[in-house]
Amino acid sequence: MTGIFLILTMNKWTFVIPSGGIGARMGADRPKQYLEINGLPLIVHTLKNIDSAFSKPLFVISMDSTWVQYLAPFLQEAGLSKRCHFVPSGKERYDSVKNALSHIQTQWVGVHDAVRPFVSEGTSARIGVALAQHVAVIPVMPLQESIRKRTAEGSEALNRSSYVTVQTPQCFREDVIKNAYALPYDDTITDDASLVERSGTPVCCVEGNIENIKITHRMDLLLAQHLLTPP
């Protein structure tokens, strides 16, 4: 879990992959990121997808050390071992990302969910275009259903066109994300973008892709199995 991460000058990107979650809502016998589809753990499907979409970046994976030995042969087979570095996960996701950031020295940093293996090349291209003018960019999607706000009297309808759902990878210039993580943790921090905003940097939104789901529940897993199984 320790050691020096060799930064390759050809790489402009490092992706932080927080992978310390236990996936309780999935109700499986292991954390959901290590559930296998077609012989590969979900996290490896995710890494391969990001590797393709962002032209072979570096990876820093925050994870429980007990799973490193399990994951290593899959990374070797996928040709990712030399660009992956493991660091300890923390109590909160905030701690896991902060641990990873201390090992990064590339121009751009992406933070991506370990169980989100369907980022499209279109999404990565839109992020790249936006980063030419912004230092913090996230993919989002419009809401598909009506929404309501609970009130003391019952509920009230909201205009869904004013809201979006947020995806990953959330992408930042290195100094921007590191400065944000110098701020202390509190439980109102919902994601990396909210912490960056708190540090005083505005966040640009670009269109994500509808397939870019976070696999959380059994139904998500069934959809992932379908999408990852060759016709």
For residue 20, what pLDDT is reported? 78
Tens-digit pLDDT profile for residues 61-94: 999 999 999 999 999 999 999 999 999 999 999 9
Identify the band that residue 36 occupies on the pLDDT scale cut at 50, 70 and 90.
very high
From residue 85, how far is each of 5, 32, 72, 75, 217 by CA, in Å? 6, 20, 11, 11, 28
Residue 6 CB burial class (10 angstroms; 0-12, 13-18, ≥19):
exposed
DSSP assigned state of 129:
H
Residue 223 CB burial class (10 angstroms; 0-12, 13-18, ≥19):
middle
Tens-digit pLDDT profile for residues 167-222: 999 999 999 999 999 999 998 888 999 999 999 999 999 999 999 999 998 999 99
For residue 9, what pLDDT is reported? 46
Predicted confidence (pLDDT) at residue 23 exceeds the cutoff of 70: no
For residue 121, what pLDDT is reported? 96
Predicted confidence (pLDDT) at residue 118 exceeds the cutoff of 80: yes
Q: How far apart are alpha carbons 2 and 130 in whole angstroms?
A: 35
Tens-digit pLDDT profile for residues 145-170: 999 999 999 999 999 999 999 999 99
For residue 213, what pLDDT is reported? 96
Tens-digit pLDDT profile for residues 137-146: 999 999 999 9
The CATH superfamily label for domain 13-228 reads Spore Coat Polysaccharide Biosynthesis Protein SpsA; Chain A (3.90.550.10)
Predicted confidence (pLDDT) at residue 24 exceeds the cutoff of 90: no
For residue 106, what pLDDT is reported? 94
Identify the band that residue 223 occupies on the pLDDT scale cut at 50, 70 and 90.
very high
Q: Which residues on neighbouring strands pair with residue 149, listed in sequence order?
A: 156
For residue 27, what pLDDT is reported? 59
Residue 220: name the closest of 49, 33, 38, 93 by CA.
33
Taking the CB of residue 122, how many other CB atoms lie within 10 A of it? 14
For residue 22, what pLDDT is reported? 65
DSSP assigned state of 38:
T
Residue 47: which residues within 8 A CB-CB, separation 6 or more? Answer: 17, 59, 75, 78, 80, 84
For residue 3, what pLDDT is reported? 41
Identify the band that residue 26 occupies on the pLDDT scale cut at 50, 70 and 90.
low
Instruction: Read off the pTM.
Output: 0.92
